[in-house]
Amino acid sequence: ELTGVPVEHTTVDGCGAALFSTTLVGLARSFGHLGRAPHDSGHAGTPEGRVARAMSTHPWLVAGTGRDATRFMQAVPGLVAKDGADGVYAAGLPDGGAVAIKIADGSARPRAAVLAAALAVAGVDPALVAPIGATAVLGHGEAVGSVEPCL
């Protein structure tokens, strides 16, 4: 419902959870709804607010300790973010701003760099997200370059 896009098909992801089709715009729209949903410390509020509060309060339960989605949520107050399979990433901000990305070849490597750049465009202080998005390109185990998003 939060995507505003009709579901054309469903499937099951690698974790066994239901997966509903949407567009990148729909995915961003849904994360914008999550990000701006009121999520006070009580049990009142919307289901979206409770989900957003749980995500931003316990980000390691969303992605895992040390993962970049966890680090982004720890660095940006109120941010909700989730990476997904095949190069997908989405994030919502408390002001309702949101981003959704899909790396065309499905690679995970550039996701953090692209999300950091997109969040900076959305108004997040680059100093908060640039270190998380720093992604080296390796050659024989040595840094030979870096992923540089072009937005």
Judge whether residue 67 has pLDDT over 80: yes
Q: Does the residue 1 lie in any domain?
A: no
Residues 6+ apart with CB under 8 A from 58: none
Tens-digit pLDDT profile for residues 10-51? 998 877 888 899 999 999 999 999 999 986 655 567 899 999
Residue 138 covered by a domain: yes
Domain region containing 74: 10-146
In a domain, 95, yes or no: yes
Q: How many domains does the chain have?
A: 1
pLDDT single digits (tens) 80-111: 999 988 899 999 999 999 999 999 999 999 99
Residue 5 lies in a domain: no
Query: DSSP letters along 130-141, please?
Result: HHHH--EEEETT
pTM value is 0.90
Q: Is residue 126 part of a domain?
A: yes
